[in-house]
């Protein structure tokens, strides 16, 4: 097989928490009286919490202090965590669950490479708390995507070289991170349209044929 490990982005690949991110940011933006919509929300995919806030604040007519920004990011995360409590194993599709199981049966090592500091909680909610061989997330990195750190750490946790791993991503920032980390990348959703994607997935289960190539 061409790869020995697969590193999955979480939000937008394994499950969909983007609607909760949107609702939580919207609540904060409304409170700050800052314009925010779904188009701006699309720019937040794969980007860290503080960088997301900075994007939202582009529409704010005053400069916030570092302390104010930290309070805003904390508040948004409280809204977001409340919404995440709605997630259940129903939020993991049968297609994703079965594909993950089949990839493991092929002998591949499987890891998460997510910018989120809530990755562990989300994985628990959808019933994958103990599934992955390694989880690299927002808690073990200094630099967010498009920096490759989160994926390089995931490869390291799997005891694999970056070139032995395939990254699966839904966001441009993640595709760029994979490229910078010298890793092939399968794009799904919007990322499947990008020239940065080594493979353009129509759906998640297509990964089964990609790893056989
Ligand atoms: P948190 P991913 C990313 O997850 C989200 O796509 C992005 O919208 C979010 O800002 C980021 O996690 C940080 O999340 O606030 O929970 O730490 O796509 O890298 O799995
Ligand atoms: Mg994502």
Q: How far is the CA of 211 from the centre of ligand 1 (A)?
A: 26
What's the half-sphere exposure (Cβ side, CA atoms, 13 Å) at 47?
A: 15
Angle, helices 18-32 vs 66-84, to 10°: value is 140
Ligand 1 pocket, mutate which of 114, 135, 176 (most atoms under 8 A from CB): 114
* pLDDT tens-digit series, residues 29-72: 999 999 999 999 989 988 899 999 999 999 999 999 999 999 99
CA distance 6 to 108: 7
Q: How far is the CA of 137 from the centre of ligand 1 (A)?
A: 9
Residue 119 pLDDT grade (very low, low, confident, very high; cuts 50, 70, 90): very high
Q: 5-15+90-211 adopts what CATH topology? A: Rossmann fold (3.40.50)
* CATH classification number, 18-84, choose in 3.30.420.40, 1.10.3720.10, 1.10.150.240, 3.20.20.140: 1.10.150.240
**Cis peptide bond upstream of 146, omega within 30:** yes
The model carries a pTM of 0.94
Phi and psi angles of residue 184, each rounded to the nearest 5 degrees, phi first? -70, 155
The answer to whether 9 is a known catalytic residue is yes
* pLDDT tens-digit series, residues 62-71: 999 999 999 9
Residue 96: its pLDDT value, please?
98
What are the boundaries of each domain within the chain? 5-15+90-211, 18-84
- Ligand with the closest atom to the CA of 56: 1
């Amino acid at each position: 097989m061409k790869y020995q490990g697969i590193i999955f982005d979480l939000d937008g690949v394994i499950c969909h928490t983007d609607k909760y991110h949107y609702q939580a940011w919207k609540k904060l933006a409304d409170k700050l009286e800052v314009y925010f919509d779904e188009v701006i929300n699309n720019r937040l995919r794969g980007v860290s919490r503080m960088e997301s806030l900075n994007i939202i604040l582009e529409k704010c007519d005053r400069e916030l202090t570092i302390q104010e920004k930290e309070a805003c990011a904390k508040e948004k995360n409280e809204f977001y965590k409340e919404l995440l409590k709605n997630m259940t194993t129903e939020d993991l599709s049968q297609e994703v669950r079965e594909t993950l199981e089949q990839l493991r049966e092929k002998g591949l090592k499987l890891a998460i490479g997510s910018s989120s500091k809530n990755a562990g909680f989300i994985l628990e909610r959808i019933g994958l708390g103990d599934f992955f061989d390694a989880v690299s997330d927002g808690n073990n990195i200094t630099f967010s995507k498009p920096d490759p750190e989160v994926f390089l750490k995931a490869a390291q946790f799997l005891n694999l070289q970056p070139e032995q791993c395939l990254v699966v991503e839904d966001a441009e920032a993640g595709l760029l991170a994979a490229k910078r980390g010298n890793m092939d990348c399968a794009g799904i959703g919007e990322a499947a349209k990008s020239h940065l994607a080594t493979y353009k997935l129509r759906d998640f289960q297509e990964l089964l044929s990609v790893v056989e190539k």
